[in-house]
Copies of this chain bind each other. A is one copy, B any other.
């Protein structure tokens, strides 16, 4: 697990204030979950490793909750590592889609087999879009004036543009499928 980039996501959160592993997992899921992830099974061992490497320090907080909360604080070495990473060119985006794989071989499918799947993708893209639009308004209000807001909006903006494209594509694809097997694709009864 030496070379996990998830380390830098954690250092990013810790740059502003100390956090426990539990918090780091939830922050990651909520704020960057659309383009980066890390399970507990990954994050806990990662934090121990970062501690050994001197990127963070740790102190326990044993108040009421029974497994004592382990709170991590970034060190100078941690900040240096984070800044170095920021300057490096990023890995290429990773994208994998089982739906597209099926569509590519669509001529081998029973007529209509893929229509429902595209329709489901369309629904989920539309749902994401409206969610993003609400989130945009919420964040703009809640983080107004803070230096991190514009950067949060940049990533959100990407989600919105891509999903708008996705909706457009799915609608067009349904039309195309309708043209190939006209009798199989009906509008909702």
Interface residues of A (CB under 8 A from B): 5, 8-9, 12, 15-16, 31-32, 34-37, 82-83, 85-87, 89-91, 93-110, 113-114, 116-117, 120, 147-148, 150-152, 154-155, 157-158, 161-162, 164-166, 168-169, 172-173, 176, 179-180
Contact = CB atoms under 8 A, between A and B. Distances in A.
A70 B82 CA distance: 49
- Residue picked from A99, A101, A157, A173, most chain B C-beta under 10 Å: A101
B154 A106 contact: yes
Contacts of A172: 157
Given A86-B110, A89-B120, A164-B165, A155 B96 contact: no
Contacts of A120: 89
Contacts of A101: 5, 8-9, 12, 32, 35-36, 90
Given A93-B96, A154-B173, A12 B147 contact: no
Contacts of A157: 169, 172-173
A178 to B, nearest CB: 11
A189 B87 CA distance: 22
10 contacts: A5-B101, A32-B101, A35-B95, A35-B96, A36-B98, A89-B117, A89-B120, A93-B97, A104-B154, A150-B179
A7 B97 CA distance: 14
B152 A104 contact: yes
A105 B173 contact: no
Minimum-distance CB pairs A-B, first 5: A90-B98, A106-B151, A12-B105, A161-B165, A165-B165
A120 B101 CA distance: 28
A147 B95 contact: no
